[in-house]
Amino acid sequence: MRTLASRRTAPVALLAAAALLLAGCGGGGDSSSKDKDTKSTDDPTSSATAQKIATGQCQERKAGKASDGVKVTGDFGKSQTATFDKPLESDDLERTVVTKGTGASTKAGDEVETLVTAYTGKDGKSLGSTPLTLTVADKSLIDAFSAAIECVPFGSRVVVAVPAIQMYGPDGNAQAGIKGDDTVVLVVDVIKKKVPLKPAAWTKNVPTVTFDKAGKPTLKLVGPPAKDLMLKVLKPGSGEVVKSGDQVTVDYQGTDWNTKKIFDQSYGKQPVPFKTTEVVQGFGAALVGQKVGTRLVVTIPAQYGYGPSGGNSSAGIGPKDVIVFVVEIKAVAAG
């Protein structure tokens, strides 16, 4: 499952992979007015923020000379170009809200759709741009990414300047071209709260699924490939409910509806653990809200499967292919 259904989008993985931020779209906005995010506790306007900090939902984040010195142009959510005097150096993490949005402020647990562009402070080199979905107060995030999305209104453009050593340690990240003594600059557009994807009930042309004595499934598909994300519970479970971001352990069998071929399965091997956010979107959505012990079958159209990544050639899956999974949820642990 990790090799075939995996779609890791955590910034840690992106940065460590050197392609940090694939070339392409970047965020935008106007850098004419900067809202310095000092959030001092003696400022009466910061009482709501102070309360959130006290309850552990977010931390105090301050602006500084480095983050204030970054100017950003480009249309919000679409393109980001940062300029600053080089070399740009920061002794600690700094955050400046370049453009303050008008939406509600982000809070712990929010899944936030963002656009991120990263730069090296020493020479201003862009490491690329990429859209990312980040979760506020996610302990697995590098702190610089958390800082960009904590307690800011949706619609904000944020600059974070941070010593690379705080992100990667003294050796930096050689693959991404970042040295330990460098400063990393992140430009983050906090676009909107992600609306959770929910499969519809699968009521027409539902496939037949039978299990042999060893518990291995046989799937018989009916009709043409489905166009929507749909799910049918084969056997309800009675255990703990799976939440977004949880680590689940499952048995699964994946079939390409277009070719009718099984492309991967854990049945007959070992159940596989992974986070619901570490797999293709449709697969993760099928698990959230289900109970441990549940058996289900889900059909996943390309846009929620491998379509966005151009298919999965190693598995024989084309960019427009519909995939179907038979899944049994074995266990769950908080993410």
Q: What is the pLDDT of residue 55?
A: 54
- Same-domain status, 170 and 206: no
For range 297-320, the mean pLDDT: 89
In-domain check, residue 260: yes
CATH (domain of 88)? 3.10.50.40
Q: Say what the pLDDT of residue 32 is.
A: 37
**Does 41 share its domain with 100?**
yes
On whether both 248 and 327 belong to a single domain, the answer is yes
Q: 24: left (phi > 0), else alpha (psi -120 to 50), else beta?
A: left
Return the minimum-mean-pLDDT range out of 105-114, 215-224, 256-265, 309-318: 309-318
Residues 210, 172 share a domain: no
In the predicted model, is pLDDT for residue 173 greater than 50? yes
Q: Which of 144, 161, 193 is the last residue of a domain?
A: 193
Rounded to the nearest 10 degrees, how much is the dihedral formed by the CA atoms of 155, 156, 157, 163?
-140
Classify the phi-psi angles of 182: left when phi > 0, otherwise alpha if psi is within -120 to 50, otherwise beta: beta
Burial string for 27-48 (b: 16+ CB within 10 Å, else e) reads bbbebeebbebebeeeeeebee
Mean pLDDT is lowest, of 24-28, 149-153, 262-266, for: 24-28
Q: Please indicate, yes or no, if residue 4 is contained in any of the structural domains.
A: no
H or E, element range at 47: helix 47-54
| Contact criterion met (CB below 8 Å) for 134 and 11 | yes
Q: Which tokens is 322 given? A: 């519909």
Residue 31 within a domain: yes
Across-strand partners of 163?
183
Q: Which of the two residues, 170 and 17, has the higher pLDDT score?
A: 170
- End-of-domain residue from the set 171, 193, 215: 193
5, part of any domain: no
| Domain match, 30 and 80 both | yes
Mean pLDDT of 239-256: 94
Report the distance separating Cα 129 and Cα 131, nearest Å: 7
Looking up tokens 């070992």, which residue turns up?
A: 270
Do residues 189 and 114 touch, judged by C-beta distance below 8 A?
Answer: yes
Q: Which residue range forms the structural domain that includes residue 243?
A: 200-333
pTM above 0.85, yes or no: no
pLDDT confidence tier of residue 9, bands split at 50, 70 and 90: very low
- 134-160 burial string, b = 16+ CB within 10 Å, else e? bbbbbeebbbbbbbbbbbbbbbbbbbb
User: How would residue 335 be classed by pLDDT, with cut points 50, 70 and 90?
Assistant: low
Q: Give the confidence band of 26 by pLDDT, cuts at 50, 70, 90.
A: very low
Among the candidates 147, 163, 193, a domain finishes at 193
- In the predicted structure, residue 182 carries a pLDDT above the cut 50: yes
Number of structural domains, the chain? Answer: 2
Share of the chain above pLDDT 70, in %: 82
Give the DSSP letter string of 233-258. Answer: EEE---SPBP-TT-EEEEEEEEEETT
d(CA 224, CA 257): 8
Domain match, 132 and 248 both: no
DSSP codes joined into one string, 173-235: BTTTTB-TTSEEEEEEEEEEEPPPP-PEE--SSPPEEEE-TT--EEEE--SSPPSS-EEEEEE
Q: Is the dihedral of CA 31, 37, 42, 44 positive or negative?
A: positive
* Average pLDDT of the chain to the nearest whole number: 83
147 to 85, 136, 252: CA distances (angstroms): 23, 9, 37
The answer, yes or no, to whether residue 56 has pLDDT greater than 50, is no
Q: Is residue 69 scored above 90 in pLDDT?
A: yes
AA identity, residue 177 = G
Looking at the structure, do residues 27 and 109 belong to the same domain, yes or no?
yes
Tell me how many degrees the CA angle 208-209-211 measures, rounded to the nearest 5.
Answer: 145
Is 292 found in the same domain as 174?
no
Query: Is position 266 within any domain?
Result: yes
Indicate if 183 and 42 belong to the same structural domain. Answer: yes
Q: Do 209 and 176 sit in the same domain of this protein?
A: no
pLDDT digits (tens, 9 = 90+) for 121-164: 999 998 878 778 888 888 778 889 899 999 999 999 999 999 99
- Assign 181 a pLDDT band (cuts: 50, 70, 90): very high
User: Based on the domain organization, do 185 and 218 belong to the same domain?
Assistant: no
pLDDT for the residue numbered 18: 29
pLDDT number for residue 220 = 97
Cis (ω within 30 of 0) for the bond into 87?
yes
**Per-residue confidence band for 53, with pLDDT thresholds at 50, 70 and 90:** very low
Could you tell me if 301 and 322 are in contact, meaning their C-beta atoms sit under 8 angstroms apart?
A: yes
Report pLDDT for 19: 33
Q: 22-26, 118-122, 257-261: lowest mean pLDDT where?
A: 22-26
Most confident range, picked from 72-86, 104-118, 298-312: 72-86
What is the pLDDT averaged over residues 181-187?
95
| Same-domain status, 322 and 185 | no
Q: Say yes or no to pLDDT of 28 above 90.
A: no
Report the pLDDT averaged over residues 206-226: 95
Per-residue pLDDT, 149: 95
